[in-house]
Amino acid sequence: MVDEEDYFMLKDLAREQEQATGRVNISELSRETGFDRKTVRYYLAQDRPPVTPRMRTKPSKLDPYKPYILERLKKYPRLSRVRLLDEIQSQGYDGKTTILGDYLRQVRPTIPVLPELRYETKPGEMAQCDWSECIASHPDGSEGKVNCFSMVLGYSRMRYIEFTMSQDLQTFLACHLHAFEYFGGIPQVILYDNLKSVVLKRKYPSTASDFHPAFVDLRDHFGFTARLCRVYRAKTKGKVERTIGYVKDNFLYGREFSSLDELNLRAREWLDTINGKVHGTTQEIPFDRLPQENLRPFSSYPPYIFQKRYSRKVLRDCYLSLYRNFYSVPWQYAGSYVDVRVQGTTVLVSSGDTVICSHPLLTGKNQWSKQSEHFEGLLKRIRDEPCTSPKKKQVQKSCIGEYPVEERNLALYDALCEVGER
């Protein structure tokens, strides 16, 4: 028979399941509590507990650990039952999780959960990816913001997370490589929110959007399709959203880290643990389901070379600036905007789809890379340029009779100063 304490314990366990997985698993609750599935289903449907409470006649195994639990909840009121169970078990607790669940119901209020629509994918069909800002605690009591990159395989529920100090494009692409390496392969489709590092202009269908050129390089290299969530519909990628919530509540909350390296080291240990546990929705272990994803092997692709892309204006002296160093460009492009790519140790300069020059990547600061052919024909072009200033024409005319002076545009002298050896 289910009494008042058991009733609230069932309600609490069901709430935690729904927070973690988005649904209530009656079979799992039955196995965990020992009650028949019909009994569990019946009492979860009730709005009120049974009227006859069961009186405890002996001390609880949980009693010695209650002060510790209260202290943890005082500092971290949202700590999950699973986390607290792991912590007190490491201290010697050998009681059931149901006792802990019942006690937690008494000492903290329930948290309402909004309903969500679940969407399941076929093996290897789709992964979901996103950024999230998180708060990490330091041993001295201070807190700092970190960014969490998350990717989840839709079928197996394999999860990957990585913490960074930046959400820039280079970091975003590097996190993809680390996730592919961790999974061992690449899915067919990856679903994104409308991130600036992914899409420049949203179109319909989303696969026809104008994607960031550097992201396109990565996408085409590994051959996956990028899709975008509907605008203002982040829950479309609910699996990665729940993962981010799980990271904040189960991993970050109540833990302290001395450095970013330590944070990522412990995150990798945590990943190996949760990916090796039975998932609440699939009732299977993600590591066991991973082979069924049939991912395209990561090792079968050649190494990906990062390409940093920039837009630069070519200065009047036919140089552009990059990382506080200077690179010459054919003089015809002076004053124009060009695309600059850093591919490995090479700087590639393009106009449209055409590469117009390349340079070895300079190290240090205030270094100059000049190619003489970039200035060929410049002096002739300056000499041939017609003089448009009336004053210059008057001076030139008055001097011609007295001295053999060559008519010359004053811009030539600027050019002679600007294109000289640096």
* pLDDT, one tens digit for every residue, the chain (422 residues): 667 767 777 887 888 777 777 788 888 888 777 788 888 888 788 877 776 545 555 778 899 999 999 888 888 887 888 888 989 999 999 888 888 888 888 887 555 555 554 556 778 788 999 888 888 888 887 888 999 999 999 899 999 999 999 888 778 999 999 999 999 999 999 999 888 778 888 787 777 888 887 788 899 999 999 988 865 444 555 666 777 888 888 888 888 898 999 999 999 999 999 999 988 778 899 999 999 999 999 999 998 877 777 889 999 999 999 888 999 999 999 999 999 988 767 899 999 889 999 998 887 778 999 999 999 988 888 888 776 555 544 444 433 344 344 455 555 555 545 544 44
Give the pLDDT score at 420.
47
- Please give the structure tokens belonging to residue 264: 């990522």
Amino acid in the structure at residue 23? R
Measured between alpha carbons, how far is residue 316 from residues 85, 356, 371, 375, 378 in Å?
68, 17, 16, 12, 12
Angle, nearest 10°, between helix axes 169-183 and 213-222?
20
Chain mean position to CA 332: 40
The H or E element that residue 97 is part of is: helix 97-107
Domains of the chain (ranges plus CATH)? 4-107 (no CATH), 126-300 (3.30.420.10), 307-375 (no CATH), 378-418 (no CATH)
Backbone angles phi, psi at 49, to 5 degrees: -75, 165
d(CA 2, CA 36): 11
- Please give the structure tokens belonging to residue 144: 């700092």
Give the pLDDT score at 111.
55
Give the pLDDT score at 310.
84
- Strand-pairing partners, residue 307, are 343
Cβ proximity of 356 and 332 under 8 Å: no
Which residue is listed with tokens 């070379």?
305
d(CA 183, CA 172): 17
Q: What is the DSSP string of 230-275?
A: PTT-GGGGHHHHHHHHHIIIIIITT-B-SSHHHHHHHHHHHHHHHT
Amino acid in the structure at residue 133? E
In the chain, what are the helix, strand and coil shares in percent, each to the nearest 5? 40, 20, 40
d(CA 163, CA 147): 5
Q: CB atoms < 10 A from the CB of 269, how many?
A: 9
- Please give the structure tokens belonging to residue 326: 């200077």
- Please give the structure tokens belonging to residue 288: 């066991």
**Length of the chain in terms of residues written:** 422
Give the pLDDT score at 404.
45
Please enumerate in sequence order all residues whose Cβ is within 8 A of that of 288, keeping only pairs 6 or more positions apart, or say none.
Answer: none
Please enumerate in sequence order all residues whose Cβ is within 8 A of that of 34, keeping only pairs 6 or more positions apart, or say none.
Answer: none
d(CA 235, CA 240): 9
Nearest to 82 by CA among 278, 268, 349: 278
Beta strand ranges found along 39-81 (DSSP E): none
Rg of the chain over CA atoms, in angstroms? 32
d(CA 378, CA 328): 13
- Please give the structure tokens belonging to residue 318: 């036919």
Cβ proximity of 1 and 7 under 8 Å: no
Which residue is listed with tokens 């001097």?
399
Q: Whole-model pTM? A: 0.53
Cβ proximity of 152 and 121 under 8 Å: no
Give the pLDDT score at 335.
93
Amino acid in the structure at residue 202? R
- Please give the structure tokens belonging to residue 407: 């008519």
Determine the 3-state secondary structure of 152 from DSSP: strand
- Strand-pairing partners, residue 132, are 148
Strands 210-211 and 199-201: antiparallel
d(CA 133, CA 152): 17
- Please give the structure tokens belonging to residue 123: 């093996």
